[in-house]
Protein backbone atom coordinates (compact mmCIF):
# COMPACT_ATOMS: atom_id res chain seq x y z
CA UNK A 1 0.00 0.00 0.00
CA UNK A 2 1.08 3.56 -0.66
CA UNK A 3 2.30 5.67 2.21
CA UNK A 4 0.02 8.18 3.84
CA UNK A 5 0.69 11.75 2.88
CA UNK A 6 0.79 14.65 5.31
CA UNK A 7 -0.20 18.03 3.89
CA UNK A 8 -1.08 21.45 5.23
CA UNK A 9 -4.33 23.15 4.21
CA UNK A 10 -5.48 26.73 4.61
CA UNK A 11 -8.76 26.73 6.55
CA UNK A 12 -9.84 29.90 4.78
CA UNK A 13 -9.41 29.09 1.09
CA UNK A 14 -8.26 25.44 0.95
CA UNK A 15 -4.76 26.10 -0.40
CA UNK A 16 -2.53 23.01 -0.06
CA UNK A 17 1.11 23.19 0.94
CA UNK A 18 3.79 20.60 1.64
CA UNK A 19 4.97 22.53 4.72
CA UNK A 20 3.45 24.84 7.29
CA UNK A 21 3.26 28.50 6.31
CA UNK A 22 2.51 31.47 8.51
CA UNK A 23 0.76 33.41 5.74
CA UNK A 24 -1.37 31.85 3.02
CA UNK A 25 -0.04 32.84 -0.45
CA UNK A 26 -3.54 32.49 -1.93
CA UNK A 27 -5.86 34.45 0.40
CA UNK A 28 -3.17 36.37 2.38
CA UNK A 29 -4.59 35.21 5.75
CA UNK A 30 -2.30 34.56 8.74
CA UNK A 31 -2.15 31.41 10.90
CA UNK A 32 -4.76 29.46 8.95
CA UNK A 33 -2.75 26.34 8.01
CA UNK A 34 -3.57 23.04 9.72
CA UNK A 35 -1.95 19.64 9.33
CA UNK A 36 -4.02 16.83 7.82
CA UNK A 37 -3.26 13.23 6.90
CA UNK A 38 -4.32 12.13 3.43
CA UNK A 39 -4.53 8.39 2.69
CA UNK A 40 -3.47 7.75 -0.90
CA UNK A 41 -3.57 3.96 -0.52
CA UNK A 42 -7.12 3.58 -1.82
CA UNK A 43 -8.27 6.17 -4.33
CA UNK A 44 -11.07 4.14 -5.83
CA UNK A 45 -14.25 6.06 -6.54
CA UNK A 46 -17.67 4.44 -6.11
CA UNK A 47 -19.29 3.33 -9.34
CA UNK A 48 -22.66 4.90 -9.95
CA UNK A 49 -25.61 3.10 -11.44
CA UNK A 50 -25.78 5.28 -14.54
CA UNK A 51 -29.07 5.41 -16.41
CA UNK A 52 -28.96 4.63 -20.17
CA UNK A 53 -30.22 8.12 -21.02
CA UNK A 54 -27.36 9.96 -19.34
CA UNK A 55 -25.07 11.99 -21.53
CA UNK A 56 -21.96 11.17 -19.47
CA UNK A 57 -21.51 7.72 -21.04
CA UNK A 58 -19.77 9.00 -24.16
CA UNK A 59 -15.99 9.23 -24.19
CA UNK A 60 -14.54 12.56 -23.26
CA UNK A 61 -13.15 14.24 -26.35
CA UNK A 62 -13.19 17.76 -27.81
CA UNK A 63 -16.48 18.67 -29.50
CA UNK A 64 -17.28 21.73 -31.57
CA UNK A 65 -19.85 24.05 -30.09
CA UNK A 66 -21.97 23.80 -33.25
CA UNK A 67 -22.13 20.00 -32.89
CA UNK A 68 -23.42 20.04 -29.32
CA UNK A 69 -27.12 19.17 -29.18
CA UNK A 70 -29.18 21.06 -26.66
CA UNK A 71 -32.76 20.56 -25.58
CA UNK A 72 -34.88 22.61 -23.20
CA UNK A 73 -33.88 21.70 -19.63
CA UNK A 74 -36.74 20.19 -17.68
CA UNK A 75 -37.00 21.55 -14.16
CA UNK A 76 -38.65 19.89 -11.20
CA UNK A 77 -41.18 22.27 -9.67
CA UNK A 78 -41.69 22.24 -5.92
CA UNK A 79 -44.89 23.27 -4.10
CA UNK A 80 -42.91 26.22 -2.72
CA UNK A 81 -43.15 29.10 -5.23
CA UNK A 82 -40.57 31.18 -3.35
CA UNK A 83 -38.06 28.33 -3.55
CA UNK A 84 -38.72 27.90 -7.29
CA UNK A 85 -38.13 31.61 -7.87
CA UNK A 86 -34.84 31.63 -5.97
CA UNK A 87 -33.57 28.62 -7.92
CA UNK A 88 -34.44 30.31 -11.22
CA UNK A 89 -37.65 28.41 -12.04
CA UNK A 90 -37.28 25.04 -10.33
CA UNK A 91 -34.73 22.30 -9.57
CA UNK A 92 -32.42 21.45 -12.47
CA UNK A 93 -31.57 17.77 -12.94
CA UNK A 94 -28.01 16.99 -11.90
CA UNK A 95 -27.52 20.28 -10.06
CA UNK A 96 -25.57 20.64 -6.82
CA UNK A 97 -27.05 23.29 -4.49
CA UNK A 98 -25.42 24.57 -1.30
CA UNK A 99 -27.56 26.23 1.42
CA UNK A 100 -25.82 28.09 4.24
CA UNK A 101 -27.07 30.03 7.24
CA UNK A 102 -26.82 30.74 10.97
CA UNK A 103 -27.46 27.93 13.47
CA UNK A 104 -31.17 27.61 14.18
CA UNK A 105 -32.22 29.85 11.29
CA UNK A 106 -34.29 27.09 9.65
CA UNK A 107 -32.09 25.39 7.03
CA UNK A 108 -32.99 21.85 8.08
CA UNK A 109 -36.64 22.84 8.49
CA UNK A 110 -36.75 24.23 4.96
CA UNK A 111 -35.17 21.16 3.36
CA UNK A 112 -37.20 18.62 5.38
CA UNK A 113 -40.35 20.54 4.51
CA UNK A 114 -39.32 20.34 0.85
CA UNK A 115 -38.60 16.60 1.11
CA UNK A 116 -41.98 15.88 2.70
CA UNK A 117 -44.00 17.79 0.12
CA UNK A 118 -42.40 16.73 -3.18
CA UNK A 119 -45.21 15.08 -5.17
CA UNK A 120 -44.53 11.76 -6.94
CA UNK A 121 -40.81 11.90 -6.20
CA UNK A 122 -38.55 9.69 -4.12
CA UNK A 123 -36.46 11.89 -1.80
CA UNK A 124 -33.56 10.68 0.39
CA UNK A 125 -32.86 12.90 3.39
CA UNK A 126 -29.41 12.10 4.82
CA UNK A 127 -28.75 13.48 8.28
CA UNK A 128 -25.46 13.39 10.14
CA UNK A 129 -26.63 15.60 12.99
CA UNK A 130 -29.98 14.17 14.15
CA UNK A 131 -31.41 10.77 14.96
CA UNK A 132 -34.37 9.20 13.19
CA UNK A 133 -36.67 9.93 16.13
CA UNK A 134 -35.75 13.61 16.14
CA UNK A 135 -36.45 13.89 12.43
CA UNK A 136 -39.74 12.02 12.88
CA UNK A 137 -40.85 14.49 15.55
CA UNK A 138 -40.03 17.44 13.31
CA UNK A 139 -41.70 15.78 10.31
CA UNK A 140 -44.98 15.39 12.24
CA UNK A 141 -44.87 19.08 13.08
CA UNK A 142 -44.16 20.02 9.45
CA UNK A 143 -46.76 17.70 7.90
CA UNK A 144 -48.82 19.50 5.28
CA UNK A 145 -52.33 20.28 6.56
CA UNK A 146 -53.90 18.92 3.36
CA UNK A 147 -52.11 15.59 3.60
CA UNK A 148 -54.80 14.11 5.84
CA UNK A 149 -52.36 13.04 8.53
CA UNK A 150 -50.13 11.12 6.08
CA UNK A 151 -46.50 12.20 6.33
CA UNK A 152 -44.53 12.22 3.02
CA UNK A 153 -44.68 8.68 1.63
CA UNK A 154 -41.84 9.44 -0.80
CA UNK A 155 -39.42 10.73 1.85
CA UNK A 156 -36.76 8.34 3.16
CA UNK A 157 -34.53 9.15 6.15
CA UNK A 158 -30.93 7.92 6.46
CA UNK A 159 -28.77 8.76 9.49
CA UNK A 160 -25.23 8.21 8.20
CA UNK A 161 -21.97 10.15 7.88
CA UNK A 162 -19.82 7.82 5.74
CA UNK A 163 -20.04 8.69 2.06
CA UNK A 164 -19.32 5.09 1.03
CA UNK A 165 -22.31 3.80 3.01
CA UNK A 166 -24.48 6.66 1.72
CA UNK A 167 -23.70 5.79 -1.88
CA UNK A 168 -24.54 2.12 -1.26
CA UNK A 169 -27.99 3.11 0.01
CA UNK A 170 -28.43 5.55 -2.88
CA UNK A 171 -27.64 2.81 -5.40
CA UNK A 172 -30.20 0.52 -3.78
CA UNK A 173 -32.93 3.17 -3.37
CA UNK A 174 -32.36 5.17 -6.61
CA UNK A 175 -33.86 8.44 -5.28
CA UNK A 176 -34.94 11.36 -7.47
CA UNK A 177 -33.56 13.94 -5.02
CA UNK A 178 -30.89 13.80 -2.29
CA UNK A 179 -30.56 16.15 0.68
CA UNK A 180 -27.37 16.13 2.79
CA UNK A 181 -27.59 17.65 6.29
CA UNK A 182 -24.85 18.69 6.56
CA UNK A 183 -21.75 18.50 4.37
CA UNK A 184 -19.47 19.29 7.35
CA UNK A 185 -20.54 16.05 9.10
CA UNK A 186 -19.65 13.70 6.21
CA UNK A 187 -16.36 11.86 5.97
CA UNK A 188 -14.76 9.78 3.23
CA UNK A 189 -12.54 6.75 3.88
CA UNK A 190 -10.12 8.09 1.26
CA UNK A 191 -9.13 10.89 3.64
CA UNK A 192 -7.90 10.23 7.18
CA UNK A 193 -8.62 13.70 8.57
CA UNK A 194 -11.58 14.46 10.82
CA UNK A 195 -15.06 15.40 9.48
CA UNK A 196 -15.41 19.09 8.78
CA UNK A 197 -11.76 19.59 7.89
CA UNK A 198 -10.76 21.29 4.65
CA UNK A 199 -9.74 18.10 2.85
CA UNK A 200 -12.80 16.13 4.01
CA UNK A 201 -15.25 18.84 2.94
CA UNK A 202 -13.56 19.14 -0.44
CA UNK A 203 -13.40 15.37 -1.03
CA UNK A 204 -17.02 14.72 0.03
CA UNK A 205 -18.28 17.59 -2.12
CA UNK A 206 -16.30 16.28 -5.09
CA UNK A 207 -17.89 12.83 -4.68
CA UNK A 208 -21.37 14.36 -4.45
CA UNK A 209 -20.66 16.49 -7.51
CA UNK A 210 -19.57 13.48 -9.57
CA UNK A 211 -22.64 11.53 -8.45
CA UNK A 212 -25.01 14.38 -9.33
CA UNK A 213 -23.56 14.93 -12.80
CA UNK A 214 -23.31 11.27 -13.78
CA UNK A 215 -26.78 10.28 -12.61
CA UNK A 216 -28.61 13.59 -13.29
CA UNK A 217 -29.85 13.51 -9.69
CA UNK A 218 -30.10 16.90 -7.94
CA UNK A 219 -28.30 17.10 -4.59
CA UNK A 220 -28.85 19.70 -1.87
CA UNK A 221 -26.04 20.32 0.61
CA UNK A 222 -26.67 22.12 3.91
CA UNK A 223 -23.55 23.98 5.04
CA UNK A 224 -22.47 25.59 8.29
CA UNK A 225 -21.14 29.14 8.43
CA UNK A 226 -18.31 30.68 10.42
CA UNK A 227 -18.58 33.51 12.97
CA UNK A 228 -17.75 35.94 10.13
CA UNK A 229 -20.85 34.84 8.19
CA UNK A 230 -18.92 32.89 5.53
CA UNK A 231 -19.71 29.28 4.63
CA UNK A 232 -17.44 26.99 6.63
CA UNK A 233 -14.80 25.06 4.74
CA UNK A 234 -12.60 25.99 1.80
CA UNK A 235 -13.68 28.71 -0.61
CA UNK A 236 -13.44 26.15 -3.40
CA UNK A 237 -16.63 24.61 -1.98
CA UNK A 238 -18.64 27.54 -3.34
CA UNK A 239 -16.89 27.28 -6.71
CA UNK A 240 -17.63 23.58 -7.10
CA UNK A 241 -21.40 23.76 -6.58
CA UNK A 242 -23.89 25.09 -9.14
CA UNK A 243 -25.95 27.24 -6.80
CA UNK A 244 -25.23 28.90 -3.45
CA UNK A 245 -28.19 30.02 -1.32
CA UNK A 246 -27.89 32.04 1.88
CA UNK A 247 -30.60 31.75 4.54
CA UNK A 248 -30.69 35.02 6.49
CA UNK A 249 -32.73 36.67 9.21
CA UNK A 250 -32.81 37.27 12.92
CA UNK A 251 -33.74 34.22 14.98
CA UNK A 252 -35.80 36.49 17.25
CA UNK A 253 -37.99 37.66 14.35
CA UNK A 254 -40.46 35.60 12.36
CA UNK A 255 -39.28 36.48 8.85
CA UNK A 256 -36.52 34.69 6.99
CA UNK A 257 -34.85 35.65 3.70
CA UNK A 258 -33.50 33.10 1.21
CA UNK A 259 -31.01 34.93 -0.98
CA UNK A 260 -29.21 33.68 -4.10
CA UNK A 261 -25.46 34.31 -4.07
CA UNK A 262 -24.51 32.16 -7.08
CA UNK A 263 -26.69 30.45 -9.67
CA UNK A 264 -25.55 28.86 -12.92
CA UNK A 265 -29.13 28.28 -14.04
CA UNK A 266 -30.77 31.64 -13.30
CA UNK A 267 -30.43 35.08 -11.80
CA UNK A 268 -28.02 35.51 -8.90
CA UNK A 269 -30.00 38.38 -7.36
CA UNK A 270 -33.28 36.65 -6.52
CA UNK A 271 -34.79 36.69 -3.06
CA UNK A 272 -37.46 34.67 -1.27
CA UNK A 273 -39.18 35.63 1.99
CA UNK A 274 -40.59 33.17 4.53
CA UNK A 275 -42.43 33.46 7.81
CA UNK A 276 -41.36 31.10 10.58
CA UNK A 277 -44.39 29.52 12.26
CA UNK A 278 -44.88 26.66 14.68
CA UNK A 279 -45.78 24.31 11.82
CA UNK A 280 -42.85 25.31 9.63
CA UNK A 281 -41.95 27.97 7.11
CA UNK A 282 -44.72 29.78 5.24
CA UNK A 283 -43.90 31.51 1.98
CA UNK A 284 -44.71 35.22 1.76
CA UNK A 285 -46.08 35.95 -1.70
CA UNK A 286 -46.46 39.73 -1.21
CA UNK A 287 -43.47 41.00 0.80
CA UNK A 288 -44.48 44.66 0.42
CA UNK A 289 -47.34 44.14 2.88
CA UNK A 290 -45.06 42.89 5.66
CA UNK A 291 -42.40 45.54 5.01
CA UNK A 292 -44.88 48.41 5.33
CA UNK A 293 -46.29 49.37 8.71
CA UNK A 294 -49.90 50.45 9.07
CA UNK A 295 -49.97 53.88 10.68
CA UNK A 296 -53.07 55.74 11.83
CA UNK A 297 -51.45 59.17 11.82
CA UNK A 298 -48.60 60.73 9.79
CA UNK A 299 -45.18 60.69 11.42
CA UNK A 300 -42.06 62.58 10.43
CA UNK A 301 -38.97 60.74 9.20
CA UNK A 302 -40.85 57.88 7.50
CA UNK A 303 -40.98 57.36 3.72
CA UNK A 304 -41.71 54.51 1.32
CA UNK A 305 -39.18 53.54 -1.37
CA UNK A 306 -39.62 51.28 -4.39
CA UNK A 307 -36.80 48.76 -4.73
CA UNK A 308 -36.04 45.63 -6.75
CA UNK A 309 -34.70 42.28 -5.58
CA UNK A 310 -33.96 40.19 -8.64
CA UNK A 311 -37.09 40.28 -10.77
CA UNK A 312 -39.39 41.22 -7.89
CA UNK A 313 -40.39 44.81 -7.12
CA UNK A 314 -40.96 45.64 -3.45
CA UNK A 315 -42.00 48.67 -1.47
CA UNK A 316 -40.05 49.09 1.75
CA UNK A 317 -40.35 51.52 4.62
CA UNK A 318 -37.30 53.71 5.23
CA UNK A 319 -37.00 55.51 8.56
CA UNK A 320 -34.72 58.35 9.64
CA UNK A 321 -34.15 60.13 12.94
CA UNK A 322 -32.22 63.41 13.09
CA UNK A 323 -31.52 64.90 16.51
CA UNK A 324 -29.10 67.32 18.10
CA UNK A 325 -25.81 65.68 19.03
CA UNK A 326 -25.26 65.39 22.77
CA UNK A 327 -21.56 64.60 22.35
CA UNK A 328 -18.73 66.26 20.51
CA UNK A 329 -18.82 63.86 17.56
CA UNK A 330 -22.18 63.28 15.81
CA UNK A 331 -23.29 59.68 15.48
CA UNK A 332 -23.99 58.10 12.07
CA UNK A 333 -25.76 54.74 12.30
CA UNK A 334 -27.52 52.80 9.52
CA UNK A 335 -29.35 49.48 9.82
CA UNK A 336 -29.87 47.63 6.53
CA UNK A 337 -28.10 50.33 4.49
CA UNK A 338 -24.48 51.17 3.62
CA UNK A 339 -23.08 53.68 6.13
CA UNK A 340 -20.68 55.18 3.59
CA UNK A 341 -23.51 55.87 1.18
CA UNK A 342 -25.47 57.48 4.01
CA UNK A 343 -22.52 59.82 4.64
CA UNK A 344 -22.53 60.72 0.94
CA UNK A 345 -26.25 61.57 1.04
CA UNK A 346 -25.75 63.77 4.11
CA UNK A 347 -22.89 65.61 2.39
CA UNK A 348 -25.05 66.23 -0.71
CA UNK A 349 -27.95 67.52 1.40
CA UNK A 350 -25.67 69.93 3.24
CA UNK A 351 -23.70 71.12 0.22
CA UNK A 352 -26.45 71.35 -2.40
CA UNK A 353 -29.54 72.06 -0.30
CA UNK A 354 -28.16 74.04 2.64
CA UNK A 355 -29.38 71.79 5.46
CA UNK A 356 -27.08 71.98 8.50
CA UNK A 357 -26.57 68.31 9.40
CA UNK A 358 -22.91 68.34 10.44
CA UNK A 359 -23.75 68.71 14.14
CA UNK A 360 -26.72 66.31 14.08
CA UNK A 361 -27.02 62.65 15.02
CA UNK A 362 -28.51 60.72 12.09
CA UNK A 363 -29.96 57.21 12.38
CA UNK A 364 -31.33 55.26 9.40
CA UNK A 365 -33.33 52.03 9.47
CA UNK A 366 -34.72 49.72 6.79
CA UNK A 367 -37.73 48.00 8.32
CA UNK A 368 -38.29 44.27 8.12
CA UNK A 369 -34.69 43.32 8.93
CA UNK A 370 -33.58 43.22 5.29
CA UNK A 371 -30.51 44.81 3.75
CA UNK A 372 -30.96 46.89 0.59
CA UNK A 373 -28.19 47.83 -1.85
CA UNK A 374 -30.44 49.28 -4.56
CA UNK A 375 -29.44 52.94 -5.19
CA UNK A 376 -33.09 53.72 -6.08
CA UNK A 377 -33.88 54.20 -2.37
CA UNK A 378 -31.57 57.24 -2.16
CA UNK A 379 -34.42 59.66 -2.82
CA UNK A 380 -36.66 58.08 -0.20
CA UNK A 381 -33.88 58.17 2.41
CA UNK A 382 -33.09 61.82 1.66
CA UNK A 383 -36.78 62.72 2.02
CA UNK A 384 -36.94 60.83 5.33
CA UNK A 385 -33.86 62.65 6.66
CA UNK A 386 -35.26 66.10 5.79
CA UNK A 387 -38.70 65.13 7.09
CA UNK A 388 -37.19 64.26 10.47
CA UNK A 389 -34.89 67.31 10.43
CA UNK A 390 -37.80 69.70 9.79
CA UNK A 391 -40.28 67.60 11.80
CA UNK A 392 -42.71 67.63 8.87
CA UNK A 393 -44.29 64.31 7.80
CA UNK A 394 -44.28 63.18 4.18
CA UNK A 395 -47.81 63.00 2.73
CA UNK A 396 -49.59 59.66 3.00
CA UNK A 397 -49.45 57.20 0.08
CA UNK A 398 -46.30 58.76 -1.41
CA UNK A 399 -43.32 56.68 -2.54
CA UNK A 400 -39.96 57.38 -4.18
CA UNK A 401 -37.72 55.74 -6.79
CA UNK A 402 -34.59 57.67 -7.70
CA UNK A 403 -30.81 57.73 -7.26
CA UNK A 404 -29.10 60.88 -6.01
CA UNK A 405 -25.91 62.10 -7.67
CA UNK A 406 -23.15 64.15 -6.05
CA UNK A 407 -24.34 67.30 -7.79
CA UNK A 408 -27.84 66.90 -6.34
CA UNK A 409 -29.50 65.60 -9.51
CA UNK A 410 -32.02 62.75 -9.48
CA UNK A 411 -30.61 59.99 -11.65
CA UNK A 412 -32.60 57.39 -13.55
CA UNK A 413 -33.14 53.87 -12.17
CA UNK A 414 -33.69 50.62 -14.02
CA UNK A 415 -37.09 49.00 -14.60
CA UNK A 416 -38.99 52.01 -13.29
CA UNK A 417 -42.27 50.81 -14.84
CA UNK A 418 -42.29 47.76 -12.56
CA UNK A 419 -41.80 50.01 -9.55
CA UNK A 420 -44.68 52.26 -10.65
CA UNK A 421 -46.96 49.25 -11.18
CA UNK A 422 -46.16 47.87 -7.71
CA UNK A 423 -46.91 51.24 -6.09
CA UNK A 424 -50.22 51.47 -7.95
CA UNK A 425 -51.16 47.91 -6.97
CA UNK A 426 -50.70 48.72 -3.28
CA UNK A 427 -52.88 51.82 -3.51
CA UNK A 428 -50.33 54.66 -3.47
CA UNK A 429 -51.42 58.06 -4.74
CA UNK A 430 -48.14 59.43 -6.11
CA UNK A 431 -44.57 58.39 -6.89
CA UNK A 432 -41.48 60.51 -7.51
CA UNK A 433 -39.21 59.42 -10.39
CA UNK A 434 -36.38 61.01 -12.34
CA UNK A 435 -37.08 62.86 -15.57
CA UNK A 436 -34.10 61.03 -17.07
CA UNK A 437 -36.15 57.82 -17.00
CA UNK A 438 -38.19 59.30 -19.87
CA UNK A 439 -36.79 58.64 -23.36
CA UNK A 440 -36.65 62.26 -24.54
CA UNK A 441 -35.73 64.24 -21.46
CA UNK A 442 -39.20 64.37 -19.96
CA UNK A 443 -41.20 65.71 -22.91
CA UNK A 444 -42.54 62.57 -24.58
CA UNK A 445 -44.52 60.67 -21.96
CA UNK A 446 -46.35 58.49 -24.47
CA UNK A 447 -43.22 56.59 -25.47
CA UNK A 448 -42.98 55.31 -21.90
CA UNK A 449 -46.77 54.91 -21.78
CA UNK A 450 -47.27 56.60 -18.41
CA UNK A 451 -50.90 57.27 -19.25
CA UNK A 452 -51.89 53.69 -18.46
CA UNK A 453 -51.12 54.24 -14.76
CA UNK A 454 -53.73 55.69 -12.40
CA UNK A 455 -51.09 56.84 -9.92
CA UNK A 456 -49.88 60.46 -10.01
CA UNK A 457 -46.29 60.36 -11.35
CA UNK A 458 -44.13 63.28 -10.21
CA UNK A 459 -41.22 63.82 -12.61
CA UNK A 460 -38.31 65.63 -10.93
CA UNK A 461 -34.70 66.41 -11.77
CA UNK A 462 -33.13 67.88 -8.58
CA UNK A 463 -33.44 67.44 -4.83
CA UNK A 464 -34.60 71.04 -4.41
CA UNK A 465 -37.52 70.34 -6.70
CA UNK A 466 -38.52 67.28 -4.67
CA UNK A 467 -38.44 69.17 -1.37
CA UNK A 468 -40.41 72.02 -2.88
CA UNK A 469 -43.19 69.64 -3.92
CA UNK A 470 -43.19 67.82 -0.56
CA UNK A 471 -42.79 70.59 1.99
CA UNK A 472 -43.50 73.77 0.00
* Residue 29, SS3 per DSSP: coil
Positive/negative CA dihedral, 365, 309, 395, 413? positive
Beta carbons of 115 and 183 less than 8 angstroms apart: no
- For the annotated binding site, the residues are 101-108
Task: Report the C-alpha gap between 352 and 342 in whole angstroms.
Answer: 15
- For the annotated binding site for ATP, the residues are 101-108
**Per residue, what are the HEC states of 145-201?**
HHHCCCCCCCEEEEECCEHHHHHHHHHHHCCCEEEEECHHHCECCCECCCCCCHHHH
Beta carbons of 24 and 12 less than 8 angstroms apart: yes
- What contacts 336, CB < 8 A, 6 or more positions away? 364, 365, 366, 369, 370, 371, 372
206: nearest Cα among 234, 247, 172, 229: 234
Task: Report the C-alpha gap between 386 and 318 in whole angstroms.
Answer: 13
- Peptide bond preceding 182: is omega within 30 degrees of 0, i.e. cis? yes
Alpha helices by DSSP H, listed for 230-293, are: 236-240, 287-291
Beta carbons of 15 and 198 less than 8 angstroms apart: no
Task: Report the C-alpha gap between 283 and 281 in whole angstroms.
Answer: 7
Amino acid sequence: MAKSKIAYFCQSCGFESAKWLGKCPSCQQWNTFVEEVIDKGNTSVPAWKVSPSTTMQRANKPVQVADITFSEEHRMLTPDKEFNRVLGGGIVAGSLVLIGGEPGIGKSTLMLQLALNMPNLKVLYVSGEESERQIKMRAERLAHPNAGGVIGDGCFILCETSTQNIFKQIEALEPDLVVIDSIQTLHSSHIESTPGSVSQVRECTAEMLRFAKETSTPVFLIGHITKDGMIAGPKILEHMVDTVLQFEGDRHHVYRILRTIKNRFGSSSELGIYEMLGEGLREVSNPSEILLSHRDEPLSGITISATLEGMRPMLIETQALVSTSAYGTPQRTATGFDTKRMSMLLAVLEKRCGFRLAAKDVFLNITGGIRVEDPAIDLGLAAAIISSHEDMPVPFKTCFAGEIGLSGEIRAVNRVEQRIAEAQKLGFNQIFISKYNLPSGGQDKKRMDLSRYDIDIKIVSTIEEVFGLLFG
